Amino acid sequence: VIGPAPAGDDGPSKVDAALRPKFLREVVGQRKVAERLEIAVAASKKLKEPLGHIIFDGPPGLGKTTFATVLPNELGTSIQLTSGPALSKPADMLPFLTNLEEGSILFIDEIHRMPRVVEEFIYPAMEDFRIDIVLGEGMSARTISMQLKRFTLIGATTRSGMLSGPMRDRFKMHEHLEFYSVEELATIVRINAAKLNTPITDGAAHELARRSRGTPRVANARLHWARNYSAALHDGAITEAVAHAALDKAEVDADGLDKNDRRYLETLIDVFGGGPTGVEALAATMNLAADTLSDEIEPYLLREQYIVRSPRGRVVTPRAFAVLGRQSPPKPRP
């Protein structure tokens, strides 16, 4: 059973869905996570018990949904997909909970954005596979308890810090996904180019991978663009020269930073004197949502040390000046 698509699903995510691995062995990288999941799957099959609830956290596009969607294939069960923002009240959970099959999976993307009332409503479902439904109002209200099929809840979040303690404690496995190496991304690019029937050289796959912000979803998007670029202007194959030209045309710089990354660094330097500054002020100046900055832009800039986080806010590093081709200001004398 495939439930409603997560909110905001559009073109690129269709590409993602088509390229998504079907089984754990097809998942590239994240070896430790994959190995632990293999053990959990094997145990679940042997013991004939549903998989324990799992939470995946990490920046967008690193494979949280991918891991969640390979698990039902491994277990031979079904999955329903929904997302935190789509669940505004407990009743929104009912169609999913009543559609459960024994051992099936319920995936909630952006689970940190689920309202507290819904969170509390699913605690008994997670613990005892039971929900309490209140019928009527006021004096005549009564609660009935409904038994559910035993199931596995898989949550994905870009903000594990925003999960409440009780919610976090109800997950048996907590898996954190990390950015990918260039080699891992190059492997993903080659596999996906083959799926798209697009010839690609190893040098081109490496070039696309190197300029993909450590993120498989970005690598897929860069591949898709390079494929279109070649189909329109060349013979359809992606050579290193085509990859270079395509990425330059997309304004992805030699280090893989895109327009928003550079705008972020430029704003921090030009408007805020390099920081420290708070994310809200930066977001307002850039005319973007603060969540977009902290969930999508900053994790990669932090990991590559273009910025650092201090108690008083974000600060640029000399690396940021270098990547923008600027001279860093002399260090102030103590």
**Could you list the residues that contact ligand ADP (CB under 6 A)?**
16, 19-21, 27-30, 60-66, 156, 188, 216-217, 220
Active site residue 172: no
- Closest contact distance (angstroms) between CB of 161 and ligand ADP is 17
Contacts of 79 (CB under 8 A, 6+ apart): 1, 2, 68, 69, 71, 72, 104, 105, 106, 107
| Residue closest to ligand ADP when measured from CB atoms | 63
Taking the complex as a whole, the smallest distance from the CB of residue 218 to ligand ADP amounts, in Å, to: 9
Give first-to-last CA distance, the chain, whole Å. Answer: 64
- Marked catalytic residue, from 109, 198, 222, 317: 109
Instruction: Kindly name the residue from 113, 210, 217, 314 that is annotated as catalytic.
Output: 217
Judged by beta carbon, residue 56 or residue 96, the one nearer ligand ADP is: 56
Q: What is the signed CA dihedral for 284, 288, 289, 290, rounded to 10 degrees?
A: -60
Taking the least distance from each CB to ligand ADP, the nearer of 189 and 323 is: 189
C-alpha 189/C-alpha 209 separation (Å) is 7
**Burial (0-12, 13-18, 19+ Cβ within 10 Å), 73:** middle
Minimal CA–CA distance to 200: which of 252, 235, 247? 235
- Going 314 to 318 to 321 to 322, the CA torsion angle's sign is negative
∠ CA 259-264-270, nearest 5°, is 115
Q: 322 near 316, Cβ under 8 Å?
A: no
| Minimum distance from residue 330 beta carbon to ligand ADP (Å) | 41
Q: Among residues 69, 158, 198, 215, which one is catalytic? A: 158
Q: How far is the CB of 100 from ligand ADP (least distance, A)?
A: 22
- 239 catalytic? Reply is no
Is residue 46 part of the annotated active site? The answer reads no
- For the bound state, the minimum distance from the C-beta of residue 146 to ligand ADP, rounded and expressed in Å, comes to 30
Catalytic (active site) residue 109: yes
Q: Mark 271-302 as b/e (b = at least 16 C-beta within 10 Å).
A: ebebbbbebebbbeebebeeeebbbbbbbbbe
In the DSSP assignment, the letter for residue 134 is E
Q: C-beta of 255: minimal distance to ligand ADP in Å?
A: 21
Is-contact 188 216, C-beta < 8 A?
yes
- With CA atoms as reference, report the closest residue to 23 among 39, 34, 12, 32: 34
Contact 179, 304 (CB under 8 A): no
The yes-or-no answer on residue 65 being catalytic is: yes
Residues involved in catalysis:
64-65, 109, 158, 217
